[in-house]
């Protein structure tokens, strides 16, 4: 398990921990002195000693508090940056994996957080404690220090021999638990099908059986996992017991130890062994959290959020594709082909489905990097009317204007597209809210709304996927008239599915065999 942490930070962490454990040892020194006075000397406790005792304990608590706050803030900031990087990987393909992306941000990032927040600081803190206590022990009571040195390696050794296996098994358990959880969530999400098929009883029975089997399996595995904790506990007890025995023998038989040293030793010994135990348990937690980091890293390794590959500023033509090859993973859609689109007019593109028409549009838009060749556009102010539509929570006015146009301008463009009547029918007119993607308009009206949003900006280049919606003849004529007017001073490149639209095309290309082939039939 590698821990990535800048050196400066590591030094700060170590210093804070050293301060805290140092203060604790000084607390131990003073309390041992006070008790020695009381028990052996039979005197009242010295006020100064008690003050120092309380002071050092408070200092230790304060430094620990500071360490926690600083290390957790740092961790939260690191998680935030990781989150930003993941969000930076979102592009127009992410929608296919949206659930996985949402899970990365909301589940895996959160489950990885404890690794940064708890695991790393705890490991540093524990190591510092172990070293400091053992060094202090050499000055307080050397024999106890040797016992610590001798018994401590058993914990990591035990982990290497037995613990690793249980760690793996615990991971399996976690995965299995996740699988059961996912099935449950699937069933809740898919309850309509359960209802439709009236299989509620059967499915509930299965869910119950799954859970029973899961509890049985898990408890078997947990027995192993907890056994390893039990062993750690035994090692700890053995160590503390050995030290107690040694101290007891020294007091009675050899009479070679002071009360001060004896109490101090017995105060520090559990601190030492508890730290060892924590190390063992955290090791296990760290492993689990790292599984989540792996999922996040899968996203980080993906390409995406890249910079624009297009070259801007042609002399005259709206779009020029030079010697371009386009593909998805292993399949090649276009191979070393060219296309020049003049600054005005309607260019139709046809071809069978799946041949790469939409990908070609996406390449011009800057969304799909070509494998080779150059993409030139006159300007990057391009309007795109896709055949898919997604309405975020918005209003008709906000959707069309994007906050850049006045109400009157929006109404004017909607009027040009013959939508005034249906908009006026809505309760709140153009301020009608579109919630949850449900919009009180017909398919043909939605198509026109999408067009209005692009047309209001009057871009010099318009790309469109022909809407596959049913438009009635009147609407269709209206849309075509509008496009015909528009093509006078804009370049329209459209993927066309029906002959009707070819009537207004000035040029017509078909994609076939990886090439863009000009067709007769353009006017």
Partner 1 sequence: MGYLTGERKQVFYSILLGLAGGLVGVALFGLSGYMISLSFFEPPFFVIILIIAVIKLFGMMKGAFRYIERLLSHEATFQMIGRLRLNYFRKSLALDEDTHSARFIQRLNQHFDRVEDYYIRIIYPYITAALLTLILIMLAGYINIESVLLMTGASLLLLFAVPKLFERLNHEEAGRREETDSTFYMKLYHYIHDYTDLFVTKRAKSHKVKLDGYLSRIRHSEDRQDLFDSLMVLAANIIQIAVLTLIIFTMYREIPMLVPMVMLLALSYFDQVIPVMQPASRYRSVKDAVGELDAEDTTRDPATEASEGIGRIYIKGLRYKYRGTAADVLKDVTAVFDAGQKHALIGSSGSGKTTLLNSIIEGGGSVHLYGGDGETAGTIRQDASIMPQHLDFYNATVEDNITMFGHMDVSPETIRHHLETLEMAYYAPETMITHTGRLSGGEEKRLHFIRMMVENRKWWIMDEPTARLDDRLKQKIWDRVMAQDTVIVSTHDLSRLDEFDQIHYMEEGRIIESGNYSSLMVRGGAVYEAVMRYADKL
Using CB under 8 A, which residues numbered 25 to 84 contact partner 1? 31, 34-35, 38-40, 42, 44-45, 50, 53-54, 57-58, 61-62, 64-65, 68-69, 72-73, 76-77, 79-80, 83-84
Residues 219 and 227: their CA atoms lie apart, in Å, by 12
Binding residue for partner 1, selected from 382, 451, 493, 516, defined by CB under 8 A: 382
Binding residue for partner 1, selected from 164, 174, 251, 412, defined by CB under 8 A: 251
CA distances 90 to 87, 101, 125, 370, Å, are 6, 8, 37, 19
* Binding of partner 1 by 206 (CB under 8 A): yes
Residue with tokens 């230790």: 60
For partner 1, the binding residues in 463-492 under the rule CB under 8 A are 468-473
Q: How far is the CB of 147 from partner 1 (least distance, A)?
A: 14
Residue 486: CB atoms within 10 Å:
19
Of the pair 102, 157, the CB lying nearest partner 1 is at 102
> Using CB under 8 A, which of the segments 132-140, 278-286, 325-333, 494-502 binds partner 1?
494-502
Q: Is 390 exposed, middle or buried (0-12, 13-18, 19+ CB in 10 A)?
A: exposed
* Binding of partner 1 by 307 (CB under 8 A): no
Q: How far is the CB of 432 from partner 1 (least distance, A)?
A: 8
Of the pair 197, 424, the CB lying nearest partner 1 is at 197
Residues 244 and 247: their CA atoms lie apart, in Å, by 5
Q: Token pair for residue 35?
A: 């008790």
Chain center to CA of 83? 5
Q: Tell me the three state secondary structure of residue 459.
A: coil
Q: How far is the CB of 198 from partner 1 (least distance, A)?
A: 6
For partner 1, the binding residues in 350-379 under the rule CB under 8 A are 350, 365-367
Of the pair 212, 338, the CB lying nearest partner 1 is at 212
Q: How far is the CB of 500 from partner 1 (least distance, A)?
A: 6
Longest CA pairwise span in the chain (Å): 114
> Using CB under 8 A, which of the segments 99-107, 127-135, 157-165, 281-289 binds partner 1?
99-107
Of the pair 252, 408, the CB lying nearest partner 1 is at 252
Residues 391 and 503: their CA atoms lie apart, in Å, by 31
Q: How far is the CB of 67 from partner 1 (least distance, A)?
A: 9
* Binding of partner 1 by 248 (CB under 8 A): yes
For partner 1, the binding residues in 126-165 under the rule CB under 8 A are none
- Looking only at the bridges linking them, the beta strands covering 372-377 and 311-312 are parallel
State the DSSP code for 466.
P
* Binding of partner 1 by 190 (CB under 8 A): yes
Q: Is 127 exposed, middle or buried (0-12, 13-18, 19+ CB in 10 A)?
A: middle
Of the pair 278, 335, the CB lying nearest partner 1 is at 278
Count Cα atoms within 13 angstroms, Cβ side, for 420: 8
CB 225 within 8 A of CB 174: no
Binding residue for partner 1, selected from 131, 162, 164, 244, defined by CB under 8 A: 244
CB 159 within 8 A of CB 283: yes
Binding mask 388-427 vs partner 1 (x if CB under 8 A, - otherwise)? --x-xx--------x-----------------------xx
Q: Tell me the three state secondary structure of residue 399.
A: helix
Q: Which residues of 229-258 are buried (b: 16+ CB within 10 A; e: fewer)?
A: eebbeebbeebbebbeebbeebeeeeeebe
CA distances 283 to 89, 289, 370, Å, are 31, 10, 46
> Using CB under 8 A, which of the segments 121-129, 134-142, 204-212, 408-416 binds partner 1?
204-212
Q: How far is the CB of 75 from partner 1 (least distance, A)?
A: 9
Residues 49 and 47: their CA atoms lie apart, in Å, by 5
Residues 211 and 228: their CA atoms lie apart, in Å, by 25
Q: How far is the CB of 318 from partner 1 (least distance, A)?
A: 15
* Binding of partner 1 by 92 (CB under 8 A): yes
Binding residue for partner 1, selected from 183, 278, 293, 295, defined by CB under 8 A: 183
> Using CB under 8 A, which of the segments 11-19, 97-105, 124-132, 328-336 binds partner 1?
97-105
> Using CB under 8 A, which of the segments 127-135, 241-249, 412-420, 482-490 binds partner 1?
241-249
User: How many residues belong to the site for partner 1 (CB under 8 A)?
Assistant: 141
Q: Token pair for residue 295?
A: 């999922």
* Binding of partner 1 by 125 (CB under 8 A): no
Binding residue for partner 1, selected from 161, 230, 311, 517, defined by CB under 8 A: 230
Of the pair 300, 335, the CB lying nearest partner 1 is at 300
Q: Tell me the three state secondary structure of residue 355.
A: coil
Q: Token pair for residue 7?
A: 């050196």
CB 514 within 8 A of CB 334: yes
Q: How far is the CB of 336 from partner 1 (least distance, A)?
A: 26
């Amino acid at each position: 398990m590698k821990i990535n942490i800048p050196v400066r930070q590591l030094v700060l962490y170590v210093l804070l921990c050293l301060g805290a454990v140092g203060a604790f040892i000084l607390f131990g020194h003073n309390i041992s002195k006070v008790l020695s006075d009381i028990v052996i000397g039979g005197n009242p406790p010295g006020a100064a000693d008690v003050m120092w005792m309380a002071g050092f304990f408070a200092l230790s608590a304060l430094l620990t508090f500071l360490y926690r706050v600083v290390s957790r803030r740092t961790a939260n900031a690191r998680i935030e940056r990781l989150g930003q990087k993941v969000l930076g990987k979102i592009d127009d393909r992410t929608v296919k994996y949206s659930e996985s992306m949402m899970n990365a941000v909301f589940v895996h990032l959160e489950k990885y957080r404890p690794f940064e927040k708890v695991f790393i600081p705890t490991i540093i803190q524990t190591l510092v404690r172990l070293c400091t206590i053992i060094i202090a022990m050499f000055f307080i009571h050397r024999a106890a220090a040797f016992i610590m040195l001798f018994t401590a390696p058993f914990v990591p050794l035990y982990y290497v021999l037995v613990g690793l296996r249980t760690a793996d098994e615990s991971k399996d358990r976690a995965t299995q638990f996740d699988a059961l959880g996912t099935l449950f969530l699937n069933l809740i999400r898919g309850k309509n099908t359960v209802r439709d098929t009236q299989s509620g009883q059967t499915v509930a029975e299965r869910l119950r059986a799954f859970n029973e089997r899961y509890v049985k399996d898990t408890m078997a595995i947990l027995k192993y996992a907890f056994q390893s904790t039990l062993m750690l506990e035994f090692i700890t007890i053995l160590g503390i017991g050995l030290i107690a025995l040694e101290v007891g023998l020294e007091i009675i038989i050899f009479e070679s130890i002071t009360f001060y040293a004896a109490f101090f030793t017995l105060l520090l010994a559990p601190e030492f062994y508890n730290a060892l135990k924590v190390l063992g348990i955290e090791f296990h937690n760290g492993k689990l959290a790292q599984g989540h980091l792996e999922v996040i890293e899968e996203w980080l390794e993906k390409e995406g959020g890249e910079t624009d590959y297009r070259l801007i500023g042609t002399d005259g033509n709206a779009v020029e594709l030079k010697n371009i090859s386009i593909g998805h993973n292993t399949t090649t859609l276009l191979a070393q082909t060219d296309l020049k689109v003049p600054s005005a007019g309607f260019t139709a593109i046809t071809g069978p489905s799946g041949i790469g028409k939409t990908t070609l549009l996406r390449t011009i838009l800057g969304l799909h990097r070509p494998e080779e060749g150059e993409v030139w556009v006159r300007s990057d102010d391009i309007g795109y009317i896709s055949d898919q539509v997604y309405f975020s929570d918005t209003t008709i006015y906000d959707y069309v204007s994007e906050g850049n146009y006045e109400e009157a301008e929006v109404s004017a463009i909607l009027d040009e597209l013959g939508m005034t009547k249906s908009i006026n029918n809505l309760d709140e007119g153009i301020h009608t809210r579109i919630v949850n993607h449900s919009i009180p308009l017909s398919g043909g009206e939605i198509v026109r709304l999408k067009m209005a949003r692009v047309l209001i900006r009057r871009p010099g280049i318009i790309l469109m996927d022909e809407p596959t919606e049913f438009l009635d003849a009147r609407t269709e004529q209206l849309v075509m008239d509008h496009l015909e007017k528009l093509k006078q001073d804009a370049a329209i490149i459209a993927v066309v599915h029906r002959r009707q639209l070819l009537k207004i095309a000035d040029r017509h290309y078909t994609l076939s065999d990886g090439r863009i082939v000009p067709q007769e039939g353009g006017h």
